[in-house]
Amino acid sequence: MPVIVVPKGQVAGEHRVALVPDVARRLKALGAEIRIEKDMGGSAFFHDEDYGDDVSLAQDSAALYDKADIILSVQATLEDVEKMPDGCILIGFMAAHKQPELVKKLQQKKITALAMELVPRISRAQAIDALSSQASIAGYKAVLMGADMAPVFFPMLTTAAGTIRPASVLVIGAGVAGLQAIATARRLGAVVEAYDVRAATKEQCESLGAKFIDMDVKAEGEGGYARELTEAEKQQQRDVLADHIAKAHVVITTAAIPGRASPKIILQNMVARMRPGSVIVDLAAEGGGNCELTQPGETIEHGGVKIHAPLDVASQMPLHASEMYSKNLFNLLTLMIAEGNLKLDWEDEVITGSALTHDGEIKHAATRELLEGAA
């Protein structure tokens, strides 16, 4: 019987949790023993008693980690890894490109680390894709942020004082977050334009009620992401987008690739053309932002334009974010646990694609090259 443990999160400002009561019940039915640290779910409004008899409660991390086979986390930290038993399995977001010391410690302790940001974007892994589940929350929340900060109504209103025209919203990037942002802005009554370098997204944007900004730049890449644009393509992109950005009340940018810097799409001279009171919500702030003026984690004003660059947006809706993330973890664990037995199938492309480290080796090629280059 595999022992699954869930510690209380250590990252400041992170309110999501890795295990919710419903998933704990389902894991127990798979034949797992589950231990959680006291008040593990509190930040997402799940109390210890909500988990009932499906879990055993540990008063501290020392008691928690004893004989742990699998450890579930939201954001893994070096401090947590140092307490973990050698050779265990750790599942969570790793952000290896930002935490080289964490990767080295995982190697040293021969921990098998499955990084949720590395889950392959293939059809059979959609129910495991935590990047997508959390991005949908970020796209929804970004529109609410923009609506709150903008000095205008989103819907058209007919009043005794006259007709109020609807707000203009531009969404840049039509991945999961962008599509959710389009849908949410339309529900609030805004007129929405959308742009993505992947021409294949045009139909999706239009089906949600957005007008797609079409241009000759096509940049479909691997894994559902866009390839990097050439300098000539970047300039063409900026030339076309500048006019649309200038007319928008709210611009939401979502162009990000895990482990790499976010592309700079909105330059300072483009911001200067925006009308005072306009808002940019930069969801790509984790990677430095899509706007040249973005300061990650801050809200600044430039020429009367607010540039809001929130971090860890999904954590601002911890209850539903935790439910979605916990189900992603459960779906991954069903590939590893059957009839109470734990077995990693290294022929399974979901397991191999998600593996960051195993048995003292860095399995993820890009991380391995990054660390070797820094050595």
Active site residue 121: yes
Per the CB < 8 A criterion, the answer to whether 290 and 299 are in contact is no
Catalytic residue among 25, 48, 56, 225: 225
Which one-letter amino acid corresponds to residue 264? Answer: K
Which one-letter amino acid corresponds to residue 159? Answer: T
Q: How distant, in Å, are the alpha carbons of 79, 122, 272 from that of 19?
A: 20, 24, 45
Catalytic residue among 121, 186, 238, 368: 121
Closest residue by Cα to residue 348 from 117, 114, 111 = 114
Alpha-carbon distance of 86 to 162, in angstroms, equals 69
Q: Where are the beta strands (DSSP E) in 206-246?
A: 211-212
Which one-letter amino acid corresponds to residue 289? Answer: G
Catalytic residue among 61, 73, 107, 132: 132
Active site residue 73: no
- End-to-end Cα spacing for the chain: 40
Active site residue 65: no
Alpha-carbon distance of 366 to 139, in angstroms, equals 27
Buried b (16+ CB within 10 A) or exposed e, 7-26: bbbebeebbbbbbbbbbbeb
Catalytic residue among 60, 108, 124, 126: 126
Beta bridge partners of 222: none
Catalytic residue among 129, 196, 282, 312: 129
Active site residue 126: yes
Alpha-carbon distance of 38 to 144, in angstroms, equals 33
Active site residue 129: yes
**Phi, psi (5° rounding) for residue 93?**
-75, 130
Alpha-carbon distance of 252 to 198, in angstroms, equals 17
Tell me the catalytic residues: 121, 126, 129, 132, 225
